[in-house]
Amino acid sequence: MNRSRLVVVDTNVLVSRLLAPRSKPAQALRKAMTEGKVLVSDATMLELADVLNRSRFDRWVPKATRVAFLRQLTENVSFVPIVEVIRAIRDPRNDHVLEVAVNGRADLILTGDEDLLALDPFRAIPILTPARYLVS
């Protein structure tokens, strides 16, 4: 019996999904949620909530839609407790993505962040763009 794929989805992919529901990031998120489990941490969800609360998104997506997206996402992901702290990336604000992957024993990381992509693979965990993931 095969276990579900454990996927860490970076905030930039989640925001892209909300802004462009038919985009490659949106398709990749749907695939990750259908074929496996999406892993997050408290830090992941706090970052996403902070980003989605920014008024600059008001002209593209109503605040109520952003809140509903965050609520629905929270109900459909698996939270990973962070035991091992990671400090491996140029921008320490992105270390939480690596922490979720390592602590959650993820099979892959989905991101559009060049700093994270440059680390591919990180501790044998592939780091893929949404487009690459869709053809994998």
Q: Where are the domains of the chain?
A: 5-134
CB 82 within 8 A of CB 39: no
H/E stretch holding 26: helix 24-35
Position 94: which residue type? N
Instruction: Give the number of residues written for the chain.
Output: 136
pLDDT tens per residue across span 54-100? 999 999 999 999 999 999 999 999 999 999 999 988 888 889 999 99
Q: Which CATH superfamily is domain 5-134 in?
A: 5'-nuclease (3.40.50.1010)
- Select from 114, 56, 131, 42 the least CA-distant residue to 15: 56
Angle at 40 between CA 63 and CA 76, to 5 degrees: 65
Instruction: Determine the pLDDT at residue 1.
Output: 38
The DSSP call for residue 59 is: T
Paired strand residues for 6: 37
